[in-house]
């Protein structure tokens, strides 16, 4: 299992970082992390785009979900069948958010182990044949942030970006009106998620928080286009 993780996640992340460090990042480790994160998000764009759209649609159909639950509250089999029919009608997968989490975690852990293991000569044995060894790699970013240790500037930026991304992911009902249960949960999570970000990342190398920040900013841009598409389609 460890070998598979190393080959599927650790080595690709490590090699992408070193390759970009040598080339497009101009020997800046921080810039290499930013570029690697963008590259990963571009590769996984279809999954995250679909997941963001699914989350919004789940909130949109929540009133219908509630009606079905009330109508079939004494018949769970009928309720499940009706819900599955509703999800199929709207092309919704209620487990899409779990898929996004499954995609994010191994990559984030990969960044963590790259930094924790250190960009040293012993680790350069994991480089692919076409990726040159960079020699000495400084983990300083902008001359003030050591990405190998925790940093509150990067941490607050990651938490703030998580907040704004979560706020964008709340479905707005036409004409306003009371929030559905799904919308209330999404609204609550927009406050809980930044706190969780701080709790999880405050002792980790800021390189991981930088990855999370860039990924969240990417998600904000992606969510904007998802929202615009749904607004054109549903009139809100």
- What is the Cα–Cα distance from 30 to 211, expressed in whole angstroms? 9
- What is the Cα–Cα distance from 224 to 39, expressed in whole angstroms? 19
Domain map of the chain by residue range? 2-234
Give this prediction's pTM: 0.86
* Residue-wise pLDDT tens digits, 18-56: 999 999 999 999 999 999 999 999 988 888 888 888 888
Q: Which comes out higher in pLDDT, residue 161 or 230? A: 161
CA distances (Å), 124 to each of 11, 15, 71, 107, 139, in order? Answer: 10, 9, 61, 19, 16
CB neighbour list of residue 100: distance below 8 Å, 6 or more residues apart: 47, 48, 51
Q: What angle do CA 52, 53, 59 make, to 5 degrees?
A: 95
Q: Is 142 left (phi over 0), alpha (psi -120 to 50) or beta?
A: left
pLDDT over 70 at 10, yes or no? yes
* Residue-wise pLDDT tens digits, 212-224: 999 999 999 999 9
Structure-block tokens of residue 59: 């909130």
* Residue-wise pLDDT tens digits, 104-126: 788 888 888 888 777 777 888 88
């Amino acid at each position: 299992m460890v070998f598979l993780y190393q080959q599927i996640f650790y080595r690709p992340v490590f090699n992408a970082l070193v390759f970009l460090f040598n080339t497009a990042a101009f020997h800046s480790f921080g810039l290499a992390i930013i570029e690697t994160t963008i590259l990963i998000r571009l590769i996984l764009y279809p999954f995250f785009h679909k997941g963001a759209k699914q989350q919004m649609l789940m909130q949109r159909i929540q009133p219908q979900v509630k009606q079905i639950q009330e109508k079939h509250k004494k018949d769970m089999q009928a309720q499940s069948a009706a819900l599955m029919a509703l999800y199929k009608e709207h092309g919704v997968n209620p487990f899409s958010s779990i898929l996004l989490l499954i995609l994010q975690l191994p990559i984030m852990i990969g960044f963590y182990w790259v930094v924790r293991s250190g960009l040293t000569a012993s680790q350069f044995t994991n480089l692919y044949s076409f990726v040159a060894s960079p020699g000495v790699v400084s983990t300083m970013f902008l001359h003030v942030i050591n990405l190998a240790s925790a940093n509150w500037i990067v941490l607050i930026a990651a938490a703030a970006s998580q907040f704004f991304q979560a706020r964008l992911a709340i479905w707005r009902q036409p004409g306003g009106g009371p929030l559905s249960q799904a919308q209330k949960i999404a609204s609550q999570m927009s406050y809980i998620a930044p706190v969780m970000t701080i709790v999880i990342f405050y002792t980790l190398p800021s390189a991981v928080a930088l990855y999370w920040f860039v990924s969240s900013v990417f998600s904000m841009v992606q969510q904007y286009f998802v929202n615009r598409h749904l607004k054109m389609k549903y009139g809100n």
